[in-house]
Amino acid sequence: MTFLEAISDALRTEMRNDPSVFMMGEDIAGYGGAFKLTKGFPEEFGKERIIDTPISEAAIIGAAIGASLNGMRVVAEMQFLDFITNGFNQLVTVAGTTAYRWGMGVPIVVRGPAGGGVGGGPFHSRNSEAWFVHATGIKVVYPAFPSDAKGLMMASIRDNNPVVFYEHKGLYRKIKEEVPSGDYIVPLGQGRVVRPGNSISIITYGSMVHLALEIAQELQEQNIQCEVVDIRTLVPFDKEIVYNSIRKTHRALVLHEASITCGFGAEIAAQIGEYCFRDLDAPVKRIGAFDGPTPFAPTLEKEVLPKKEDIVATIKEIVAF
């Protein structure tokens, strides 16, 4: 399955398993979604469970919260996750604090495409995951592989907390692998070592996992063995898999596509510095995107996003320290 097909399969499977699961979003019924992820869903589940909404993210998330408080499990699609800003208050102020204030679960998944590298311009390319890591009461998921996308989506739908589920649009049809059929759960809060090594740990998630693997393969010929750790979920964060990797390699590069300042990589680097200081043989380094909007022009976008040559140079600097 492709990345997109795996997410679609997860949604179909959960809707077949549980009649309380339904979907809301712009153009998801009549058009099949902007990326055709819900194509054929209305024919199978009916338009009572695949609901086309007005162009109002605040209304979508607010209605999803209300339905979840009345026993439903709602998957709310943002046509692009950039537009989640229009529903920010509902998600952060209402959904994120309801469990604390009322002692009630809010089983909603707010999902959609994110990320750059496809010429989407400044309004269709943001990686905003750090906003929701900082907001309390919300789980944040950002998979890199189709099988993880399916397993994490199913786990997110079954979770009683609000989840923001990031799907890098550049991976939708680019990445393909065998995906388990039927029920398949990847627990939230468990990272994965996708490539073992002993020279340096690359801690990453989302689209950057694939760039890290490409670089690790090339650097192997120069006797630099990169261990690539895909954290998969930011909240809850699998600290132990990161700490264990650092204790093995004694060096760390934290890599993400989101802009560098106050990105989630800063939190990872801080925790490594606090809890693995005695295990480090070199300073922890971070690489992220330039602090600015993502340009539309491909040449400029390439300059803004993390560049392969910069990552390679930084890895060599850390290993040689």
Q: What is the pLDDT of residues 245-284, one digit of tens each?
A: 999 999 999 999 999 999 999 999 999 999 999 999 999 9
The answer to whether residue 134 is catalytic is no
The candidate with the shortest Cα–Cα distance to 117, out of 170, 196, 177, 38, is 170
Q: What percent of the chain has pLDDT over 90?
A: 98
Task: Kindly name the residue from 124, 210, 250, 256 that is annotated as catalytic.
Answer: 124
Cα separation of 1 and 25, whole Å? 24
Cα separation of 70 and 93, whole Å? 19
The candidate with the shortest Cα–Cα distance to 95, out of 70, 53, 66, is 66
- Going from N- to C-terminal start, the domains of the chain cover 3-171, 192-320
User: Is residue 307 scored above 90 in pLDDT?
Assistant: yes
CATH class for the domain made up of 192-320: alpha beta
Cα separation of 64 and 61, whole Å? 5
- Residue 17's alpha-carbon distances to 13, 28, 47, 152, in angstroms, are 6, 20, 18, 16
CATH number for the domain whose boundaries are 3-171: 3.40.50.970
- Residue 179's alpha-carbon distances to 13, 103, 111, in angstroms, are 13, 36, 20
Q: What is the pLDDT of residues 43-89, one digit of tens each?
A: 999 999 999 999 999 999 999 999 999 999 999 999 999 999 999 99
Phi, psi for residue 111 in degrees, rounded to 5: -130, 160
Cα separation of 259 and 251, whole Å? 22
Q: Residue type for 192, please?
A: R
Tell me if residue 229 falls in helix, strand or coil.
Answer: strand
Judge if 3-171 and 192-320 fold alike in CATH terms: yes
Q: What is the pLDDT of residues 133-152, one digit of tens each?
A: 999 999 999 999 999 999 99
Confidence of residue 103 (pLDDT cuts 50, 70, 90): confident
DSSP state of 172: T
